[in-house]
C-alpha cells in the first residue's frame, strides 16, 4: 500500500477502497456513497414514479436488508412514495424461520408496513413438501412460485412496482448464464418496464452495488447477521459463473459493470415483449393467470390438471 489508508473525504481511517474513480472511504462516507449511487440509479432510470406504492421483496437476507434500509432513506426525500415490505414464506424448514425474524426486526426499525405471504396459503403446501420427490428442481420451482407470490402480493397491496434486492454480481452472473444456455429471450427481457395492463414493473435498485459492497454496507450499518444457507442452493451454473466473473473482476476491475452495461446496450436495440409472447398473452386454462402459452408455469410446476381448479 503506497498511500495511507485514510478516507479521501474526511481523513478518518478508511473501511473500503473503491475504483472508478479510485477512492478510499470511512464507514460514514461509504454508507453515503453507496446510498447516493442507488438513489442516482433510481432517478436516472425513473424506477419510481410520483406517488408510487413500491412493494419491497424482503426475505431478510443480506440483499433485501440493504434494499429496505436504502429505500427507507430514499423515501425520506420522496414523501409521495409509499413502501410496503412483503416476505414470502416458502416453507423451508430450518432456514426461513430465521430470515423471517430478521425481516421483522428490519420493518420494526424502518417503520415500513409489512406482510407475509406463504406458499401454503397460495399453493396449498410448503416448498419442502411440494418438492419432496424432485429436490433437484427445487430452485427453479421455487423461483416460479416466488414470482407468482410477488405478483399476488403486488395485487393485494395495490403496488405500482416490485423492488427486489438483485445486486451487480447477480445481474452479471445472469448475463453469463443466459449466454451459456443460449437463452436470448431471457437476456433481452427487461422486466423493469412492466407491460401496461399486464405485469407490474420489477425494479432492481441495488444493481449498481456489488455483493461485497452490500455486505459491507449492512455490516457498517450494524444489520449484518450470518444466516443459514438455503438447503436447496445448488445452482451449479451460477456458482461457475460467480467464480469466472469473480476472477475476472479481480484481474480487470469493472468487469461486472461492463457485462451489465453490455446487456443494457443490447436491450436498447431489441423491441420488448414479455418472454416468448411475441406481444400476445393468453389466460391460463387452469388458473386464469396470464401466460404466453395455454397453461402457466405455476400450474405446470404444480402438476395441476384442468379439473383441479
Partner 1 sequence: MKIILPDRKTIEEEREPAVIKDILESLGINPASVIVAKNGNIVPDDVILENADELKIISFAHGG
> Which residue's CB is nearer to partner 1, number 24 or number 263?
24
> Which residue's CB is nearer to partner 1, number 85 or number 284?
85
Of 249, 259, 286, 299, which one interacts with partner 1 (CB under 8 A)? 249
> Residue 53 corresponds to which cell in the numbers above?
406504492
CA-to-CA distance for 29 and 39, rounded, in angstroms? Answer: 15
**176 is a contact residue toward partner 1 (CB under 8 A):** no
Please identify which residue in the block is written with the cell numbers 474526511. Answer: 10
CB of 61 to partner 1, least distance (A): 5
Q: Enumerate residues 180-219 that contact partner 1 by CB under 8 A.
A: 211-212, 215-216, 219
**14 is a contact residue toward partner 1 (CB under 8 A):** yes
Query: What sign has the CA pseudo-torsion 65, 69, 70, 72?
Result: positive
Give the interface size with partner 1 as a residue count (CB under 8 A).
33
Of 46, 129, 237, 247, which one interacts with partner 1 (CB under 8 A)? 247
Q: Decide if 292 contacts 274 (C-beta within 8 A).
A: yes
CB of 134 to partner 1, least distance (A): 22
**179 is a contact residue toward partner 1 (CB under 8 A):** no
How close are the terminal C-alpha atoms of the chain, in Å?
65
Query: What sign has the CA pseudo-torsion 295, 301, 305, 308?
Result: negative
Question: Can you name the residues that pair with 85 across neighbouring β-strands?
Answer: 56, 114
**138 is a contact residue toward partner 1 (CB under 8 A):** no
Of 41, 116, 144, 220, which one interacts with partner 1 (CB under 8 A)? 220
Distance (Å) of CA 44 to CA 41, 47, 189, 211:
5, 8, 20, 21
> Which residue's CB is nearer to partner 1, number 17 or number 147?
17
DSSP symbols for 45-87: TT-S-TT-EEEEE--SSHHHHHHHHHHHHHTTS-TT-EEEEEE
CB of 153 to partner 1, least distance (A): 17
Q: Enumerate residues 227-246 that contact partner 1 by CB under 8 A.
A: 227, 229-230, 233, 242, 246
Query: What sign has the CA pseudo-torsion 232, 235, 236, 240?
Result: negative
Of 8, 9, 17, 117, which one interacts with partner 1 (CB under 8 A)? 17
Of 29, 64, 200, 299, which one interacts with partner 1 (CB under 8 A)? 64
> Which residue's CB is nearer to partner 1, number 64 or number 161?
64
**Residue 98, Cα to own-chain centre: how many angstroms?**
19
Q: Decide if 100 contacts 116 (C-beta within 8 A).
A: yes
CB of 241 to partner 1, least distance (A): 13
Q: Decide if 267 contacts 184 (C-beta within 8 A).
A: no
> Which residue's CB is nearer to partner 1, number 128 or number 170?
170
DSSP symbols for 163-180: E----HHHHHHHHHHHHH
Q: Decide if 262 contacts 269 (C-beta within 8 A).
A: no
**Binding region for partner 1 (CB under 8 A):** 1, 5, 13-17, 24, 27, 59, 61-64, 165-167, 170, 211-212, 215-216, 219-220, 227, 229-230, 233, 242, 246-247, 249-250
Amino acid at each position: 500500500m503506497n498511500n495511507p489508508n485514510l478516507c479521501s473525504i474526511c481523513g478518518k481511517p478508511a473501511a473500503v477502497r473503491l475504483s472508478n474513480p479510485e477512492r478510499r472511504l470511512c464507514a460514514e462516507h461509504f454508507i453515503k456513497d453507496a446510498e447516493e449511487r442507488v438513489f442516482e440509479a433510481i432517478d436516472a432510470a425513473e424506477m419510481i414514479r410520483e406517488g408510487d406504492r413500491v412493494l419491497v421483496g424482503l426475505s431478510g437476507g443480506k440483499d433485501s436488508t440493504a434494499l429496505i434500509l436504502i429505500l427507507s432513506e430514499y423515501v425520506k426525500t420522496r414523501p409521495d412514495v409509499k413502501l410496503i415490505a412483503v416476505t414470502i414464506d416458502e416453507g423451508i424448514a430450518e432456514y426461513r424461520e430465521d430470515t423471517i425474524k430478521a425481516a421483522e426486526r428490519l420493518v420494526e426499525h424502518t417503520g415500513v408496513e409489512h406482510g407475509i405471504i406463504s406458499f401454503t396459503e397460495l399453493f396449498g403446501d410448503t416448498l419442502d413438501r411440494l418438492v419432496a420427490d424432485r429436490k433437484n428442481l427445487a430452485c427453479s420451482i421455487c423461483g416460479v412460485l416466488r414470482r407468482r407470490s410477488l405478483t399476488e402480493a403486488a395485487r393485494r397491496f395495490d403496488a405500482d412496482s416490485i423492488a427486489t434486492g438483485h445486486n451487480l454480481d447477480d445481474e452479471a452472473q445472469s448475463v453469463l448464464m443466459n449466454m451459456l444456455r443460449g437463452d436470448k429471450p431471457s437476456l433481452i427481457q427487461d422486466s423493469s418496464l412492466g407491460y401496461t395492463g399486464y405485469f407490474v414493473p420489477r425494479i432492481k435498485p441495488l444493481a449498481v452495488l456489488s455483493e461485497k459492497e452490500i455486505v459491507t454496507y449492512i455490516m457498517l450499518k450494524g444489520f449484518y447477521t450470518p444466516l443459514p444457507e438455503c438447503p436447496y442452493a445448488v445452482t451449479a451454473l451460477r456458482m461457475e459463473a460467480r467464480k469466472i466473473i469473480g476472477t475476472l473482476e479481480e484481474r480487470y476491475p469493472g468487469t461486472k459493470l461492463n457485462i451489465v452495461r453490455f446487456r443494457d446496450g443490447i436491450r436498447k436495440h431489441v423491441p420488448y415483449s414479455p418472454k416468448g409472447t411475441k406481444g400476445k398473452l393468453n389466460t391460463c386454462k387452469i388458473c386464469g393467470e396470464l401466460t404466453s402459452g395455454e397453461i402457466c408455469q405455476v400450474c405446470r410446476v404444480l402438476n395441476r390438471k384442468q379439473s383441479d381448479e
